[in-house]
Structure 1
Amino acid sequence: MTESKYAKNKEDERIVGEFLDKYFYPIIEKKYMNKINNIERNYDVSKQNKGVDVILESKGGSLINIDEKTATDYFNENIPTFVLEISFLKDNVLKEGWLFGNKYSDTDTYLFCWGWKEDANKDLSVENIKHIEAYSIRKSKLQKLLDDKYDLNKYNYKKKAELAIDEINELSNDEKVFLKGNKGPRWNISRQLDEEPINLVTPKHLLKQVTKTIFNINKHEVKIKEL
C-alpha cells in the first residue's frame, strides 16, 4: 500500500473510532449496564497490531477484544458487501491477512462498519459523519461459516489464495472468481496497492447469517437490532 494511501486509511479509521467513542460506546454501556462493566479504546500499539481496537469488560470480568473494520473508501455508496482480508504480498511472499492470521488471534469480535457523510463532497471528520451501520460478528462464527459453506479455513486459506491469484491472472478484467460456484464471496486483488491484498468481497446477506447485533448509529440515537 502506498504511504499516502495507508496514512489516509489510518486517519479515516481513527476518525470513525472517535465517532464511535462519542456516539456509540457510551450508549451501549448504558443500554447494557446489567451486562457490561466497561468499554475502553485500546491505545497499546502491540495490542492494536494483534487486532484489538476496543476492549469490553463484562460484569463477570471477562474481556471481549473488538476489531473495528470500516469500508472507509466507500462512504455514501451503500455497498452490499464487505471486504475480508485473506492474505497480502510482502517482498513477493504471501502473508497472513487479518481473518485467519495467527498474528491477529487476539480478536474476539469484529465490528464491520459502513458509513455515510453529511456532505459527501467534504473530507471525513467526526462532525461530517452522518450515519454508521455496524454489524457485530464473532470472529469464530464467521470463520465457521466460511469453513462450513465454502471449505475455507485457517489450514488451507493460503493455498486457496494462491490458486485464486493464478485463476484471476488468467481471466479478463470483467470476469469474477468466486469462492464456490458463481455467487457468494468472490476473490479480489487490490493491485493498486503496494501490498496487493487478496480479499474476499463478501455479501452483507451472508455476513448477516452470523451477525449477533446490527447497530444504526447517528449523533442523536443508536438503533439496535438483535438477530
Structure 2
Amino acid sequence: MKSNFKADLSKEQQLTPLLDFYYQKYLKHYTFERVSYIKKQLQGIDLILKNVSTGKRFYLDEKAQLDYINESLPTFAFELLYQKNGIQKQGWLFDNSKKTHFYALVTSIFSDEAKKFTSCNITIVNREKLIQHLDKKGLSQTYLERIITENKGLNGKLNLDKLDARNEGYLFFSSNNKIEKPVNLILRLDYLQRIGVAKRLV
C-alpha cells in the first residue's frame, strides 16, 4: 500500500495548462483565477470563477482521475471517509469546512506526448444540488456513514438499495489497496447529467 501524493502533484501541475485552455475556451462569461494558497486549497478552492456581468464569484474544486491516464471511465468517485494515521476523517463530499460551490471532474485524461496531457473531459457538478439530490433519495451523510460503519473492513463494491448499481452508482471500499483506506460513493457521470446536477463542459 502506498500514497501517490507526490506523483499526483506532479501530474496535476502538468494538467493545469490544458484545464486553463479549456476554461478560457468554454467559460465565455467568466474570468478565472487560479488559487495558490494552500489554506484556500484545503477549503476546496482550486479556482475562483467570476461572472463578468454580475461579478458573482464561485469556488471550483478540481478532481482529476490521475490514476487512469489514457482510459475513459464512465464513473467518478466522491470521497465519503478516509483514514490518516489510523484516524477516520471526513471525505470532501460532506466536509462542512469545504467552501466548494462546484466540482470540476476531470476524466478521460489522455497523454499522447511525454509529460504532456493533450485532451480530457471536464464535467462541472453543482455540489449543493448533488447533496440535496442524494438527501431526497435517502442517501444522507448520516445514512451513508451508518452503512459504512455496518460494513467496516469490507473491501470492494457494495450495492445500495437506493441506487441502481448499473445506471446510477454504488459504494466502494478501498480497505486493502490504499493507505488512506477511502470509502467512495461511485456515481455515473451520465447519471449526474440526467438528474440535472452536472453539465459536461468539454
Q: What TM-score range do you get, normalising by the shorter chain? A: 0.7 to 0.9
Deviation by residue 1:150-181 (Cα, 9 ceiling, x = unmatched): x2223444323222435x36xxx6xx311326
Aligned partner (choices 150, 169, 183) of residue 185 of structure 1 = 169
- Which structure is larger by alpha-carbon Rg, 1 or 2? 1
CA distance in 2: counterparts of 1:211 and 1:144, whole angstroms: 10
Unaligned runs of 5+ in 1: 217-227
- Between stretches 184-193 and 71-80, larger displacement belongs to 184-193
Q: In the alignment, residue 60 of structure 1 is paired with which amino acid?
A: T
Matched, 1:116 2:109: yes
CA distance in 1: counterparts of 2:180 and 2:83, whole angstroms: 5
Matched, 1:152 2:139: yes
Deviation at 1:211, TM superposition (A): 4.1
- Specify the SS of the correspondent of 1:24: helix
Contact 1:164 1:187 in 2 (8 A): no
Normalising by structure 1, we get a TM-score of 0.77
- Specify the SS of the correspondent of 2:93: coil
Contact 1:135 1:211 in 2 (8 A): no
RMSD: 2.2
Contact 1:87 1:94 in 2 (8 A): yes
Deviation at 1:15, TM superposition (A): 2.1
Deviation at 1:47, TM superposition (A): 0.5
Matched, 1:215 2:196: no
CA distance in 2: counterparts of 1:129 and 1:101, whole angstroms: 30
Matched, 1:162 2:149: yes
- Specify the SS of the correspondent of 1:57: strand
Deviation at 1:118, TM superposition (A): 4.2
Normalising by structure 2, we get a TM-score of 0.85
Identity of aligned residues (%): 26
Unaligned runs of 5+ in 2: none
CA distance in 2: counterparts of 1:164 and 1:41, whole angstroms: 39
Matched, 1:60 2:48: no
Deviation at 1:13, TM superposition (A): 2.1
